[in-house]
Copies of this chain bind each other. A is one copy, B any other.
Amino acid sequence: MEPLAAERRTQGVQRGGRAARVVASVVAATAAELTRVGYGALRIEEVARRAGVNKTTVYRRWPTKAELVCAAARALLGEMVAPDTGSLRGDLIAYLWRAAQRARDPKLQGLLVTLNSRLDPELEALVQDLRNRARQMRVDLVRRGIERGELPRGTDPELVAEIVSAPILHRVLHLGEDVDEAHVAAVVDLVLAGAAACAVRPT
């Protein structure tokens, strides 16, 4: 029984060989071109030229534009590791600041804009998965803070996680504006104060 083509495409690439070099350069070129011209105007031939390979090579490994962009996203968007500073306030500031930093990385700019643009149903599944992981990490941070007694029992961790992260994510992902660490801290402090005073109950 031979391995499926889909597996060979993304995993079965030999480490360090020619194939690995091709994949790496095409992925980098895809991200660069996405930043330069965006998804709609992304031309496979130009990606190939920029990567120093023939366009048939790109077409054979990634038959569609969506698969190419998915591969680039998987390769360049590594998992975030959960912070653990000892306090909820520190964890939230650390997490949101790192998330903001990453979102401002010029190399990831076009890729993130593309993923947030609902351009292809095939990209949506990947985006959903990435978002769910990140969201779960945020909720877990808040839940841990509640268990530590930093917020009242009965506080809804999902609501707090959403309210504290949305202002930062909305700025950097949606508006494309920058944030500084003081702003992150101001948001976290206001929301934590609200949660402490409010004690919203999960429905």
Contacts and interface: CB of A to CB of B under 8 A. Distances in A.
Interface residues of A, number: 38
A118 interface: yes
* Binding site secondary structure of chain A: helix
A162 interface: yes
B175 A40 contact: no
Given A113-B117, A166-B170, A194-B198, 19 more contacts: A39-B40, A116-B116, A131-B175, A156-B186, A159-B187, A160-B190, A163-B187, A163-B191, A169-B170, A169-B174, A170-B170, A170-B174, A173-B174, A186-B200, A189-B198, A193-B193, A193-B197, A194-B195, A196-B197
Interface of A: 38-40, 113, 116-119, 131, 156, 159-160, 162-163, 166-167, 169-171, 173-176, 182, 186-187, 189-198, 200, 203
